[in-house]
Amino acid sequence: MDKHPTHDLRENDLESFLGNLGDFWSRHGKVILITVLVVLAVLLFWQLRNRNIREQHDRQWENLSSATSPSAFMEVSRQTDGTARYMALTNAGQLWLERVAMPMLASSEESSPNETPENMLRSAAEAFEQVVQASDAPLPLRLEAMLGLAAVAEGRLQWDEAAKWYDKVAAEAGETFPVHKARAERRQALMDRLRAPVTFAPVTSAAGELQGPLSGELPLPGEVPMPVLPELNPEPVAPDAPAATPDETPADAEPVTPAPAAE
């Protein structure tokens, strides 16, 4: 009787498995290898793509945080997309509005002769309109852009247009964004005062005469005359004659008679 029947069966099974595996690999090995390589390539591509997206996202926000002028923000908006782009456009428009209100904010290096108030208002309006018209822009940024368009309308003295934008902001903000709604309503309440012309008191000169516009219209820069000071025309003073020295006697001076001596 064989003492190792189990061992022989195991060896036969192993030989059979290896033989079948060789046959299977010879028939399907290339397909399996190609499939594994494709899966690895897809995983590698996915990881590289995600890393590039993260780096690009970080770079966009870094450029956005380092921009300090309207032109810089507009350049960032052309290089970015999504929320970063809409934030860059909104910031550019707000900086243009600040320059219109306070021209001294623009340094001599950044300003140019073309940056007139009207041109800056036009550039601000174009930036805000891109945000308002974007359906994928976040609502807070769209509300900020609407408030910016209302400010542009005020700068152009288009009060009805400004009131329309304030009404739209208050309607779309609702109770979700109470800060934007309060800003719009507060500005809307000032519309009547903003429409009224500014009245200046007449300018009184030092001579007591009334000068300057009395019609109540807002004068343009340089139209209000300066006070007229009285002219001071003193009589010319002749130069002092040189003082006589002790040794010199004027020619027209009378001789001095000595006093009589006392007896």
Report CA 136 to chain centroid distance, whole Å.
22
Q: Do 90 and 176 belong to one domain?
A: yes
Res 88: pLDDT: 94
Range of the domain at 45: 17-66
Cβ neighbors of 7 (< 8 A, separation 6 or more) are none
Unique residue bearing structure tokens 């005020």: 154
Res 166: pLDDT: 95
Res 223: pLDDT: 44
Q: Do 87 and 148 belong to one domain?
A: yes
Res 63: pLDDT: 78
**What is the C-alpha separation between 2 and 190, in angstroms, rounded?**
111
**3-state percent helix, strand, coil for the chain, nearest multiple of 5:** 60, 0, 40
Q: How many CB atoms lie within 10 A of CB 156?
A: 15
Token pair, residue 136, equals 């994928």
Q: Let me know if residue 48 belongs to a domain.
A: yes
**What is the C-alpha separation between 97 and 99, in angstroms, rounded?**
5
Ranges in the chain, pLDDT < 50: 1, 108-109, 210-233, 263
76, 88 contact by CB (below 8 A): yes
- DSSP letters, 15-66, are HHHHHHHHHHHHHHHHHHHHHHHHHHHHHHHHHHHHHHHHHHHHHHHHHHHH
Q: Do 140 and 190 belong to one domain?
A: yes
DSSP state of 1: -
Res 16: pLDDT: 72
Q: How many CB atoms lie within 10 A of CB 219?
A: 14
Res 242: pLDDT: 53
203, 224 contact by CB (below 8 A): yes
Q: Do 32 and 123 belong to one domain?
A: no
Query: Cα dist. 72→21, 78, 91 in Å?
Result: 66, 10, 10
Which helix or strand (DSSP H or E) is residue 148 part of? helix 139-155
**What is the C-alpha separation between 83 and 60, in angstroms, rounded?**
10
Res 93: pLDDT: 95
- Residue 204's DSSP bridge partners are 210
Q: Do 62 and 182 belong to one domain?
A: no
Q: Do 40 and 160 belong to one domain?
A: no
Q: Do 86 and 190 belong to one domain?
A: yes
Closest of 170, 95, 93, 160 to residue 130, by C-alpha: 93
Name the maximum alpha-carbon separation found in the chain. 195
Res 173: pLDDT: 93
Which helix or strand (DSSP H or E) is residue 204 part of? strand 203-204
Q: Let me know if residue 53 belongs to a domain.
A: yes
Q: How many domains does the chain have?
A: 2
Res 216: pLDDT: 44
Q: How many CB atoms lie within 10 A of CB 147?
A: 24
E-state strands within the chain: 203-204, 210-211
Q: Let me know if residue 170 belongs to a domain.
A: yes
Among the candidates 33, 48, 66, a domain finishes at 66
Q: Do 146 and 28 belong to one domain?
A: no
pTM above 0.75, yes or no: no
Q: Let me know if residue 177 belongs to a domain.
A: yes
Q: Let me know if residue 207 belongs to a domain.
A: no
Among the candidates 163, 195, 227, a domain finishes at 195
Q: List pLDDT tens digits, range 58-70.
A: 777 787 888 888 9
Q: List pLDDT tens digits, range 62-120.
A: 878 888 889 899 999 888 888 999 999 999 999 999 988 887 665 544 556 667 889 99
Mean pLDDT of the chain: 76
